[in-house]
Structure 1
Amino acid sequence: MRNFILSVANCHIFIRITLESSDSVHLSPTVETMNVYDPHVFKSTKYLRDSERMFLMNNGPTVRSESVRNLFIKHGVVDGLGLILLHKHFELGDGQALVDYNSTSMAWDLKDTTVSGKGVVQEHGGFIKPGAWLLSPTKKRLIFYEFCFHHHNATNNLAYSQTTLLYLTEEFVDEFSEILHQDNLTGVLGVCLLKSPLSTEIETSEGHANISVPVTDDTVFGPLNSIEAI
């Protein structure tokens, strides 16, 4: 998976190439996760340019193409899991989380709401499901980072997909944690679900919203006018 970030007129553009996935991640019972979302997790992430700088300074390209690649292959997660550059374009308020719906990520108010690995039912006729994780800086533990909203009647509803579930084992989390700690990349890289068939998208920020749109001409963006992220 390759991503590019482009800055045009103060607008960050992000290209993501995703692979068709197994559509769902269920954590092994042995993998410790936070069962209540903490908005300070998102607030602790760096802004885009700072995160990209840390990625390059701390041997990120080599870690991605060698250590992380080998880890994903070893545990058989390459079709369902992606590596992401942890970053933010704007701040979230207290009790808010970044939630994606129909390729637009916005701040949702999750005050007084418990977010578990299975998601939470909302008043909008659907539920929220974690879609990205980062590692705890102090423990070998996955922490919810970003989320997706799924309508009960959606044809691509991840929760009701009949495809094979992807299981993250304690061994995978331990090894991933060790790899990131070795090069001080714990707060720089995370993992996410690959939800779409093969596609390329541009992510641009408009106010407090990240909007992803498809790219039809891959030659428009490259090393000369963009910054490779992952």
Structure 2
Amino acid sequence: MGITVAPFSHEHFQSLPPLNAAVENYHNLDGPKLVQGVFKEFFVKHGMEYTFGLALPHRHFDLKPGTRLVSYNGVSTPWPTEPGIGMQEPSPSNWSFSADGKLFPTEFRYAKGHTFHMGEREEAFVAEFKAELDRLGLGQLFGLCEYPGNDFEGSFEITRGNSNINLEPKDYPEDASGSEAAWFYSAEVLTSECKCLCHNREASHNHNGQHYQVQQ
């Protein structure tokens, strides 16, 4: 089965569920069991545990047309879709599937000299991953994110307005907890028991919650 890797789409980003809806769907479909009982083995079997992580696609706020979400130095904010003069193209860091099976980037990272290359090997894995989602009847429940590296120590991401701010481990709040939103299967990350969590302390289904990425 072939997979179309599409360019960024504002419409697709806006179609992502808000955090509470994504988490509710995750639990309704027995997500915790799938994360450890199916996809851990799946990523390792295909040799992709150092390339991709498993992600729970959602959005914390709306984007205006002509912008996309880009992370730089731990802060994600809306950037114009056209890079500034002299700046390289931000690299995709998160992807999710549309209802018709296309893979869209949903978030980006800017770092000079860094580019995520979706080659034949990665595209073949994406096709297998989509087939597994279809086999399990999961629809667009899960997507993919870029592996953060063996030295990933966790982060605590707080969403305020239209900005996601990643705190360093030394600055974690006392009560860091929430729902998991991404999973990595490399030996290094599994050993460190690093978890990526999202938590919404505001009104139910409000987009502007708090996104935690913590190491326990």
The residue identity in structure 2 corresponding to 1:191 is: L
2:159 is matched with: 205
Task: Percent identity, please.
Answer: 25
Task: Report the Cα offset of residue 198 of structure 1.
Answer: 2.3
Compute the RMSD of aligned alpha carbons: 2.8
Q: Give the 3-state SS of the residue equivalent to 2:11 in structure 1.
A: helix
2:141 is matched with: 188
Partner Cα distance (1:217, 1:99) in 2: 23
**Larger % of strand: which?**
1
TM-score (norm 1): 0.68
Task: Report the Cα offset of residue 205 of structure 1.
Answer: 0.7
Q: Give the 3-state SS of the residue equivalent to 1:174 in structure 2.
A: helix
Task: Report the Cα offset of residue 106 of structure 1.
Answer: 0.6
TM-score (norm 2): 0.72
1:132 is matched with: 94
Q: Could you report, residue by residue, the CA deviation over 1:113-147 in whole angstroms, capped at 9, with x for unpaired residues?
A: 4xxxxxxx5325332111111123212x3211111
Task: Report the Cα offset of residue 220 of structure 1.
Answer: 4.6
Q: Could you report, residue by residue, the CA deviation over 1:83-117 in whole angstroms, capped at 9, with x for unpaired residues?
A: 1111111100112211111111111121xx4xxxx
Partner Cα distance (1:216, 1:106) in 2: 23
Determine whether 1:143 maps to 2:104: yes
Runs of at least 5 residues in structure 2 that lack an aligned partner in the other structure:
183-216
1:7 is matched with: none
The residue identity in structure 2 corresponding to 1:46 is: P
- Which residue of the other structure, out of 41, 48, 66, is the alignment partner of 1:95? 66
Q: Could you report, residue by residue, the CA deviation over 1:168-207 in whole angstroms, capped at 9, with x for unpaired residues?
A: 142x223211332344533332111123422110010121
2:180 is matched with: 228
Partner Cα distance (1:168, 1:221) in 2: 37
Partner Cα distance (2:114, 2:166) in 1: 19
Determine whether 1:159 maps to 2:115: yes
1:108 is matched with: 79
Aligned length: 179
Partner Cα distance (1:135, 1:173) in 2: 10
- Seen in structure 2, the aligned counterparts of structure 1 residues 176 and 102 have a Cα distance that, compared at 3 Å, is same
- Seen in structure 2, the aligned counterparts of structure 1 residues 104 and 53 have a Cα distance that, compared at 3 Å, is same
> Taking CA–CA contacts closer than 8 Å with sequence separation of 6 or more, which of the two structures ends up with the larger relative contact order?
1
The residue identity in structure 2 corresponding to 1:122 is: G
**Larger % of helix: which?**
2
Runs of at least 5 residues in structure 1 that lack an aligned partner in the other structure:
1-29, 114-120, 152-156
The residue identity in structure 2 corresponding to 1:187 is: Q
Task: Report the Cα offset of residue 221 of structure 1.
Answer: 5.1
